[in-house]
Amino acid sequence: MAIKDEAAFAELRPYLKMTVAPNGVTIGDLNFVVAQTQWSTALQAITVANTVPGDVNLDLFQSAQGDVGQGFSTALTRGQTSWLDSQGRLPANQVFIATSCGFQFFVREATTDPGDPASTTQAILEHNIPSEDALYTIGRNLSWDATIGDGITRNYGNLLWFGGYGANYGVTAPANDPEFTVGAIAGDSASRGRHLRIPLVFPPNINVRIKVRGGNSFAVPNTASAQDTLPVGSKLAIRQFLHGYLCTMPV
């Protein structure tokens, strides 16, 4: 069923005439397959405690399930990405139209290699950033950009402004101890990402490059406790969620 013929896709209605392929195929011409979320995770190594190095440059949606990349030392699984096609490039007959976007950042650490998702002897502990200050600092200092094919690279803004798909919710003691915290997430627990005013389209056979970038090195507030926010040897994980519609080209 073509997108333009179905009332169910009201969200896409303003973009029906948007071209997705050089042969003039528009969003309205595409056939709906599934409404879903795609996610991809990249890791930034931490070599100095509580410090994110300068010139952060992380790829998202470049490594597919089964590939090694994006800071991981072994093959990615569905725990790290839902993406099945390398280099942000969909097959010749598929299009993904992302209508909302969210980011979540957290810490991966283990006594062996936090970049190895397949480790079974020492599984990876994933935990959210343990203080709101730290979450704010990381989200404010990193931004993301996208490049479709050989087009212009566009910076979309700070990660903090794209509240991720939140999950956990806990209410804890009124904090008269500044160290007391149970962790923070980007966005409210009910966050459903941020609506993209213009959808981000992954056209068929075209590389889409999404990157998370940073400028100067910056320190992440610590809680002055025995546990560092970003311990040496840990990895800062950045996960992007793109919620949208997977479609196929018209026949």
Residues forming contacts to other proteins in the complex (CB under 8 A) are 6-11, 32, 34-37, 39, 65, 76-80, 82, 104, 106, 109-111, 117-120, 123-128, 130, 165-177, 179-183, 185, 188-190, 192, 223, 225-228, 231, 234, 239, 241, 243, 245
Closer of 36 and 155 to other proteins (Cβ): 36
Closer of 45 and 190 to other proteins (Cβ): 190
Q: Which residue has the tokens 């068929």?
A: 204
Q: Return d(Cα 40, Cα 81) in angstroms, integer.
A: 4
Closer of 10 and 152 to other proteins (Cβ): 10
Q: What angle do CA 175, 178, 184 make, to 5 degrees?
A: 75
Question: 99 with 11: CB under 8 angstroms?
Answer: yes
Closer of 82 and 207 to other proteins (Cβ): 82
Residues 6+ apart with CB under 8 A from 59: 42, 69, 70, 209, 210, 211
For residue 158, how many C-alpha atoms fall within 13 Å in the half-sphere facing its CB? 11
Smallest separation (angstroms) from other proteins to the CB of 27: 15
Residue 238, class by beta-carbon neighbours within 10 Å (0-12 exposed, 13-18 middle, 19+ buried)?
A: buried
Smallest separation (angstroms) from other proteins to the CB of 185: 7
Closer of 57 and 167 to other proteins (Cβ): 167
Smallest separation (angstroms) from other proteins to the CB of 35: 4
| Three-class SS state of 55 | coil
Smallest separation (angstroms) from other proteins to the CB of 122: 8
Residues 6+ apart with CB under 8 A from 158: 139, 140, 141, 142, 143
Smallest separation (angstroms) from other proteins to the CB of 36: 5
Tokens describing residue 208: 């889409």
Smallest separation (angstroms) from other proteins to the CB of 137: 17
Closer of 88 and 130 to other proteins (Cβ): 130
